[in-house]
């Protein structure tokens, strides 16, 4: 591949993204692709510090402030990691990206969706993932997986997460070519097969 690919994994907390990213990365590497993994919030260096502020701070946080911090981390991730590695022909996988801000801050915190999209555009200078997986999990399972020790975002309550879930499905409806919804209540093996098959559809 001359130009690499940018693939993102999205979904509510506890949807099983991390396991699937690991399996998909193994598959890609076995097939000779060079893979670079990153995540939001908290790509290398400065991003780690922004992540700590976002998840560990336990005082009141304005939703707009929260959005800007996620967006600041995103700009850093795109400029420092994503773009450079795509240009080198690698497959860059990001654990969360633009759709998290639309789902969590837009639908979840009820901020203006058009403004969030515009801000996303500024943070990424218009770069969009080639493929995005949204893992659709039922809220009860998601809540159980997150357990009792919650970070600041996870402590936002059931109704918040219902809005986030619904937000992800709306995003997928609006951009069906890029965003693929996967039933995350299925087995790990079946989900992995679906991810691989959708990736193969993209490259073939």
Using rule CB under 6 A, residue 41 touches ligand TYD? yes
Q: Is 101 in the site for ligand TYD (CB under 6 A)?
A: yes
Footprint (CB under 6 A) of ligand TYD, residues 174-203: none
Choosing from 100, 132, 165, 192, the residue that interacts with ligand TYD (CB under 6 A) is 100
CB 92 within 8 A of CB 81: yes
Cα-Cα-Cα-Cα dihedral sign, residues 110, 72, 9, 2: positive
In the sheet that holds 5-11, the strands lie side by side as: 35-39, 91-95, 5-11, 131-136, 179-183
Contact 51, 73 (CB under 8 A): yes
Question: Is residue 70 part of the contact set for ligand TYD (CB under 6 A)?
Answer: yes
Q: How far apart are CA 194 and CA 182, in angstroms?
A: 8
Q: Which is nearer to ligand TYD, 28 or 153 (CB)?
A: 153
How many Cα atoms are found within 13 Å in the side-chain-facing hemisphere of 84? 9
**Contact window for ligand TYD (CB under 6 A) among 30-38, 94-102, 166-174, 183-191:** 94-102
Size of the site for ligand TYD (CB under 6 A): 13
Q: Does 136 bind ligand TYD (CB under 6 A)?
A: no
Which residues make up the interface to ligand TYD (CB under 6 A)?
A: 13, 40-41, 55, 70, 95-96, 100-101, 104-105, 153-154
């Amino acid at each position: 591949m001359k130009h690499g690919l940018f693939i993102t994994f999205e979904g509510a907390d506890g949807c099983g993204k991390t396991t699937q990213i690991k399996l998909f990365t193994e598959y890609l590497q076995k097939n000779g692709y060079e893979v670079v993994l990153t995540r939001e919030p908290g790509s290398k260096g400065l991003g780690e510090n922004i992540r700590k502020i976002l998840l560990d701070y336990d005082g009141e946080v304005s939703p707009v402030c929260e959005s800007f911090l996620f967006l600041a981390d995103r700009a850093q991730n795109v400029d420092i990691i994503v773009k450079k590695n795509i240009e080198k022909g690698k497959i860059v996988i990001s654990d969360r990206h633009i759709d998290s801000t639309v789902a969590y801050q837009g639908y979840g915190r009820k901020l203006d969706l058009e403004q969030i999209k515009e801000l996303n555009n500024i943070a990424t200078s218009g770069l969009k993932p080639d493929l995005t997986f949204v893992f659709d999990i039922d809220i009860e399972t998601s809540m159980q997986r997150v357990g009792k020790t919650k970070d600041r975002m996870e402590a936002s309550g059931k109704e918040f997460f219902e809005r986030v879930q619904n937000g992800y499905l709306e995003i997928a409806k609006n951009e069906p070519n890029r965003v693929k919804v996967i039933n995350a209540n299925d087995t790990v093996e079946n989900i992995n097969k679906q991810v691989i098959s959708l990736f193969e559809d993209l490259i073939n």
